[in-house]
Structure 1
Amino acid sequence: MNFFQLTKDAFEQFTDKEMKPLHVGEVMNLWFYLIGTKQTLRGDEISRNTCQDEDLKKKLDEAINDVHRPMVKELEEFFLKEGVPLPDTTPEKNVGDYRSIPDGAKMNDEEIANFLAYNLVVGITAAVRGMTEAVRVDVAYMFLKYQMMKVAYSVSFKKMMEDKGWLKTPPFYNQERHK
């Protein structure tokens, strides 16, 4: 079974119908998703400027260019098409070399990686919520797509975090000890 083909087929059956207006819950979920994605993008940009690890820089570039910017672009275009006002957000951060910032005033590479990992979890969770609360098929499909983009990115990002020793895991549960 091909998940993507199954999903495409399931959504296509609804796309020929006339689209109803967005309901307030869809607008709210989309609006907050756009704000959250733009703020995550700003964090990615700042982190990219201050991280030292070359592998992490590459993963941040991927998150910026292949995950978050495309989402922002699509959401903003969708909002304009639907007549939804765009939220005010902060401008993009310039690419630069900020090594002169003292270590105590910036996150280290492990903190940057875990900050990005946390934001990915929040984004995946918000996408699931938006998808399940959407009535319009196109909105549900956008959230499904965003969820899958973040999940696909997270797989290789998690592997890199494991390899570098940055992945934070809870303590293991020992059943024998608790008998």
Structure 2
Amino acid sequence: MGILSGNPQDEPMHYGEVFSTWNFVLMSNKAVAEAQVLLNHAGDKDLKKLLLESIELGQSEVEKVSTLLKENGIALPPAAPEPPKVELNDIPVGARFPDPDIALSASEKVSAGLVTCSAIMGQSIREDIAMMFGQFHMRKAALGAKYLKLVKEKGWLIPPPLHLSHKD
């Protein structure tokens, strides 16, 4: 048997895994709180549904990674307090985030999460950690596809300059 080839849960985490998973919890807590704020500003029902899905996904991931950290004797990062729920009409018009901006901000967080999951998968030597973040990656990719479909359907997509092939 090779080094660290037993049950992955019995293997110690290396410093990179500890830092990356701890930081993942910190940033995911922040992303959940930001999505909760954006939910207060959202008017579109389809966007609200996706924001709720983002919040639930983030909370589920935080719970799983927090359990991993606790099982390995690692203190958890501070969590952002849940922002109060506010009715959209209670937010002054000039202070509201428009739905297209909300969708862009939320999908940007999903994209950043994909990159983070990939990085953690690549640096992990514990198979259970790599597999956990592989599952997170797949769920985030599916959620990102839903955001892309939404912004296209609603006409909120701002594409970069398109390259059109001009054949003479």
Asked if Structure 1 and Structure 2 have the same fold, meaning a TM-score greater than 0.5 normalized by the shorter chain, the answer is yes
**SS of residue matched to 1:52:** coil
Q: Aligned partners of 2:49 and 2:6: how far apart in 1?
A: 37
Q: What one-letter code is carried by the residue in structure 2 that aligns with 1:151?
A: A
Q: Where does the alignment leave 5 or more consecutive residues of structure 1 unmatched?
A: 1-13
* C-alpha contact 1:15 1:137 (8 A) present in aligned 2: no
**SS of residue matched to 1:176:** coil
Matches within 5 A, 1:88-167: 88-167=78-157
Shift of 1:18: 6.2
Q: Aligned partners of 1:127 and 1:140: how far apart in 2?
A: 9
* C-alpha contact 1:20 1:136 (8 A) present in aligned 2: yes
Q: Aligned partners of 1:48 and 1:138: how far apart in 2?
A: 33
Shift in alpha-carbon separation, 1:170–1:100, aligned structure 2, 3 A: same
Say yes or no: does 1:34 pair with 2:25.
Answer: yes
Matches within 5 A, 1:17-96: 19-65=10-56, 67-96=57-86
Q: Aligned partners of 1:98 and 1:174: how far apart in 2?
A: 41
Shift of 1:59: 1.1
Shift of 1:69: 1.0
The CA RMSD over aligned residues, in Å, is 1.9
Q: Aligned partners of 2:88 and 2:72: how far apart in 1?
A: 40
Q: Where does the alignment leave 5 or more consecutive residues of structure 2 unmatched?
A: none
Shift in alpha-carbon separation, 1:16–1:83, aligned structure 2, 3 A: closer
Identity rate, percent: 27
* C-alpha contact 1:19 1:136 (8 A) present in aligned 2: no
**SS of residue matched to 1:74:** helix
TM (normalized to structure 1)?
0.84
Shift in alpha-carbon separation, 1:120–1:17, aligned structure 2, 3 A: closer
Q: What one-letter code is carried by the residue in structure 2 that aligns with 1:57?
A: K
**SS of residue matched to 2:10:** coil
Q: Aligned partners of 1:21 and 1:72: how far apart in 2?
A: 20
Q: Aligned partners of 1:125 and 1:75: how far apart in 2?
A: 17
Shift of 1:105: 2.1
Shift of 1:175: 4.4
**SS of residue matched to 2:105:** helix
Shift of 1:172: 0.5
**SS of residue matched to 2:147:** helix
Mean alpha-carbon deviation: is it higher for 120-129 or for 151-160? 151-160
Q: Aligned partners of 1:61 and 1:18: how far apart in 2?
A: 32
Q: Aligned partners of 2:112 and 2:47: how far apart in 1?
A: 20
